[in-house]
A and B are shown apart, each in its own frame.
Chain A
Amino acid sequence: MKIAPKILLIVYFLLSNFVYANDEPVVFQNRDLEERYYLLIEEVRCLVCQNQSLADSNAPLAQDLRNEIFKMIQINKSNTEIMEFLVKRYGDFVLYRPPLKKNTWLLWFGPFLFLIVAFFVTVLIIKKQSGETQVNK
């Protein structure tokens, strides 16, 4: 390898650093706050790219909201307060764990409902089949 391509490569990697460093670095006073921050941004959905959390997303809105969460942690807001702040503005949709409410009842208990229905259908089929085999005898 000649020297020119090597230099180009080095320049390329140096530049690519700038491309990805679009977030302000987050520095916390202690470990607890840092852990809370990373936990919270995993729990919140990004509204621009809906299948990503704030932690995953590179959307400008996700950056702003991460920043907002960071600031709230700095001024000693509790997790509940931070979540309330977000829900007040964007609705329950931002939460990856939807709260138990009247309109989320089906979401939470629907699977169990299906399980119960499936159970009775299975019992019915088994009963019917065992009846048939007895008749065949």
Chain B
Amino acid sequence: MMRYLFPLVIFAGLTTLFIFGLQNDPRYVPSPLINKAAPEFTLPTLHKPDQNISINELKGKISLINVWASWCAACRIEHPLLNNYTKKYQLNLYGLNYKDKRSHALQWLENLGNPYIESAYDEIGTVGIDYGVYGVPETFILDKKGIIRYKHIGPIDDEQFSRIIMPLITKLKQDQYP
């Protein structure tokens, strides 16, 4: 009896392990920046090259930083959702325009709408490196003190927005930290 049971148990164990393993997304790399202060930056804004925006402008409120680019196909999928969310909810959404051409980025906002309070223009991607950006679009949620509380990699969808992002923002507004 034992003779047949033993391989069966091992087989069942390995199968469960693989089933769980397959559900993980290998492209998802946890960020070491979670619960750390958002990296400092000062960048020109997308719309006004002679004006700067710095991280300090985002402090004192719950804010979101969405990393986007006009060359990024997944951003195109995400964009109408962002438009929708900022219309529906009181979100302080900022953009980080990553390694883009200014004219292309402006055209993109012109055509598709601008959900951002302001977009910072990271032409050569150094701020992107400081934020550990590796797959545009990415979205960071910052609390009132400017500490990163969540990082979303890839385009946000409605399910993730209502299940993870919105509840977290509500919690942070009440000064509850995960």
Interface 9-residue window, one of A7-15, A23-31, A33-41, A84-92: A84-92
The count of chain A contact residues (Cβ–Cβ below 8 Å) is 15
Question: Across the interface, which residues of A come within 8 angstroms of B99, CB to CB?
Answer: 60
We find that the number of chain B residues with CB closer than 8 angstroms to chain A is 16
Known contacts A89-B129, A90-B134; A47/B32 CB under 8 A = no
B40 at the interface (CB under 8 A from A): no
Given A50-B26, A50-B27, A60-B99: A89 in contact with B130 (beta carbons within 8 A): yes
- Does A48 touch B at the CB level, under 8 Å? yes
Q: Considering the chains assembled together, what is the distance between the CA atoms of A87 and B30 in angstroms? A: 12
**In the complex, B132 has a CB within 8 A of chain A:** yes
| Whole-angstrom CA separation of A88 from B125 in the bound complex | 17
Q: Which chain B residue shows the least CB distance to A62?
A: B134
> How many angstroms between the C-alpha atoms of A91 and B31 in the bound complex?
6
Which of B26, B32, B135 is within 8 Å of A88, CB to CB? Answer: B32
Give the Cβ gap from B35 to chain A, nearest Cβ, in Å: 13
A65 to B166, CA, bound (A): 33
B29 interface contact, C-beta 8 A = yes
Q: Check B131–A91 contact: CB distance below 8 A.
A: no
**B125 and A89 contact, CB distance less than 8 A:** no
Q: How far in angstroms is the closest Cβ of chain B from A9? A: 33
Q: CA–CA, A91 to B130, complex, Å?
A: 12
Residue contact A87 to B32, C-beta cutoff 8 Å: yes
Residues of A within 8 A of B26 (CB): 50
Enumerate chain A residues within 8 angstroms of B30, measured Cβ to Cβ.
91, 93
Interface: B147 (CB within 8 A): no
Additional A-B contact list (18), CB under 8 Å, known A47-B135, A50-B26, A65-B129? A47-B29, A47-B134, A48-B134, A60-B99, A61-B125, A64-B124, A64-B129, A88-B32, A89-B32, A89-B33, A89-B132, A90-B29, A90-B31, A90-B32, A90-B134, A91-B29, A91-B132, A93-B29
Interface residues of B (CB under 8 A from A): 26-27, 29-33, 99, 124-125, 129-132, 134-135
Q: Which A residues are closer than 8 A to B by beta carbons? A: 47-48, 50, 60-61, 64-65, 68, 87-93
